[in-house]
């Protein structure tokens, strides 16, 4: 048998270095991760700039001393910005003044299907920004309602919830029935155009300061919110002492009032009223409006 020297071709092929390939994959993962972080950071930075721009313009239009809160929903932001279409923007502010009586309103607005070209947004040109649907809410605190005549005659005015049934029927079986509820298209409970309200405060009677509780209906009629007093009592709804009818006839007008919603921020059609502890919230909607409709009538 003839032997021959071993040549290079006879040697086994070298095995691939898995460690080298693993390092390459890790490098690519790191690079892609860094790129993703940079892109996300740029997206959030651009969104923050846009939110700041909108906030400043809303502050000017609402006559605020501080910037309102603005949130642009949806990710990524840059995709929306380049297209000039935004699905949902939220704006909210406290301490909004309107006229001489209302000085501390809370305002929130949900803007849907917003059209705002990127060039206008960068330049701060917000007046022509179009909003497909605007859902707004204005909250009036008891301290502001107390300035509306004739409620300004009631000292230490307080506001609390009541049911329509209790307002109408008092401490009876019928008056203990809860208010009926209705749902919107999404199956969520929604407010109506009438609610029960309990007003309390001090009133002068024959030279004496007396604390009274007035149970009333607060009703939305067109663009006017009307407080219609129904019954007065001493004490509260746990300890009922009805005010004599002759005295009620004299004092009930002190708890009647009207609020013109056309003076309030947001050019929306009022659709519902809700009573909170210490405040009243008016809700409304509008279609095809402009960003400039977020203004107040300061007069």
What per-residue confidence (pLDDT) applies to 245?
81
Cis check for the bond before 98: say yes or no (omega within 30 of 0).
no
Are 263 and 297 in contact by the 8 Å Cβ rule? The answer is yes
In a domain, 59, yes or no: yes
Are 72 and 51 in contact by the 8 Å Cβ rule? The answer is yes
Structure tokens at 144: 């502001």
What per-residue confidence (pLDDT) applies to 275?
94
Distance CA 190, CA 167 (A): 20
Residues 175 and 246 in one domain: yes
What per-residue confidence (pLDDT) applies to 266?
76
In a domain, 170, yes or no: yes
What per-residue confidence (pLDDT) applies to 240?
63
Residues 28 and 52 in one domain: yes
In a domain, 13, yes or no: no
DSSP helix, strand, coil percent of the chain (3-state; round to 5): 30, 40, 30
What per-residue confidence (pLDDT) applies to 37?
56
In a domain, 96, yes or no: yes
Question: pLDDT tens string for the chain (299 positions)?
Answer: 555 555 555 555 555 555 666 666 666 555 555 555 555 555 566 677 777 787 887 787 777 778 888 888 887 877 887 788 888 989 888 888 887 778 888 989 898 998 888 777 777 777 778 889 988 899 999 999 999 989 988 899 999 999 999 998 888 888 888 877 776 666 666 788 899 999 998 887 777 787 888 999 999 888 888 999 998 887 655 666 777 888 788 888 888 899 888 878 777 788 899 999 999 999 988 888 887 766 654 43
Distance CA 223, CA 80 (A): 35
pLDDT digits (tens, 9 = 90+) for 35-84: 555 555 555 666 777 777 878 877 877 777 788 888 888 878 778 877 88
- For 174, the domain range is 151-182+189-255
- What is the per-residue burial (b if ≥16 Cβ within 10 Å, else e) of 224-233? ebbbbbbbbb
In a domain, 37, yes or no: yes
Residues 34 and 76 in one domain: yes
What per-residue confidence (pLDDT) applies to 221?
85
Residues 136 and 159 in one domain: no
Are 150 and 257 in contact by the 8 Å Cβ rule? The answer is yes
Residues 137 and 162 in one domain: no
Are 261 and 247 in contact by the 8 Å Cβ rule? The answer is no
Distance CA 114, CA 293 (A): 13
What per-residue confidence (pLDDT) applies to 299?
36
In a domain, 120, yes or no: yes
Residues 43 and 122 in one domain: yes
Are 147 and 102 in contact by the 8 Å Cβ rule? The answer is yes
Element (H, E) at 77: helix 77-83
In a domain, 289, yes or no: yes
In a domain, 290, yes or no: yes
Q: What angle do CA 105, 111, 114 make, to 5 degrees?
A: 145
**124 Ramachandran zone, left/alpha/beta (phi>0; psi -120 to 50):** left
**206 Ramachandran zone, left/alpha/beta (phi>0; psi -120 to 50):** left
Q: Which of 281, 287, 289 is nearest to 193 (CA)?
A: 281
Residues 100 and 207 in one domain: no
Residues 119 and 168 in one domain: no
Residues 100 and 236 in one domain: no
Q: How many structural domains comprise the chain?
A: 2
Residues 211 and 245 in one domain: yes
Residues 207 and 129 in one domain: no
Residues 114 and 199 in one domain: no
């Amino acid at each position: 048998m003839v032997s021959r020297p071993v040549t290079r071709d006879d040697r086994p092929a070298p095995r691939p270095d898995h460690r080298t390939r693993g390092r390459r994959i890790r490098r690519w993962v790191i690079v892609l991760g860094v790129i993703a972080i940079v892109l996300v950071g740029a997206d959030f930075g651009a969104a923050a700039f846009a939110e700041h721009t909108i906030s400043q313009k809303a502050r000017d239009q609402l006559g605020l001393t501080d910037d309102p809160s603005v949130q642009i929903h949806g990710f990524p932001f840059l995709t929306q910005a380049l297209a000039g279409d935004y699905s949902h923007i939220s704006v909210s502010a406290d301490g909004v003044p309107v006229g001489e009586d209302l000085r501390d309103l809370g305002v929130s607005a949900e803007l849907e299907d917003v059209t705002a070209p990127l060039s206008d947004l960068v330049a701060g040109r917000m007046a022509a920004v179009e909003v497909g649907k605007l859902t707004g809410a204005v909250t009036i605190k008891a301290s502001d309602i107390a300035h509306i005549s004739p409620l300004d005659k009631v000292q230490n005015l307080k506001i609390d919830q009541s049911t329509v049934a209790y307002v109408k029927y008092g401490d009876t079986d019928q008056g203990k029935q809860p208010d009926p509820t209705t749902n919107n298209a999404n199956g969520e409970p929604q407010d109506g155009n009438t609610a029960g309200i309990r007003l309390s405060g001090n009133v002068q009677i024959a030279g004496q300061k007396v604390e009274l509780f007035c149970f009333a209906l607060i009703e939305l009629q067109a663009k006017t919110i009307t407080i219609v007093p129904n019954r007065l009592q001493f004490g509260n709804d746990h300890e009922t002492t009805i005010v004599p009818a002759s005295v009620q006839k004299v004092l009930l007008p002190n708890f009647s009032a009207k609020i013109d919603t056309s003076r309030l921020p947001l050019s929306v059609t009022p659709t519902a009223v809700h009573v909170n502890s210490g405040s009243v919230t008016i809700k409304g909607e509008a279609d095809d409006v402009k960003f400039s409709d977020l203004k107040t009538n300061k007069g």
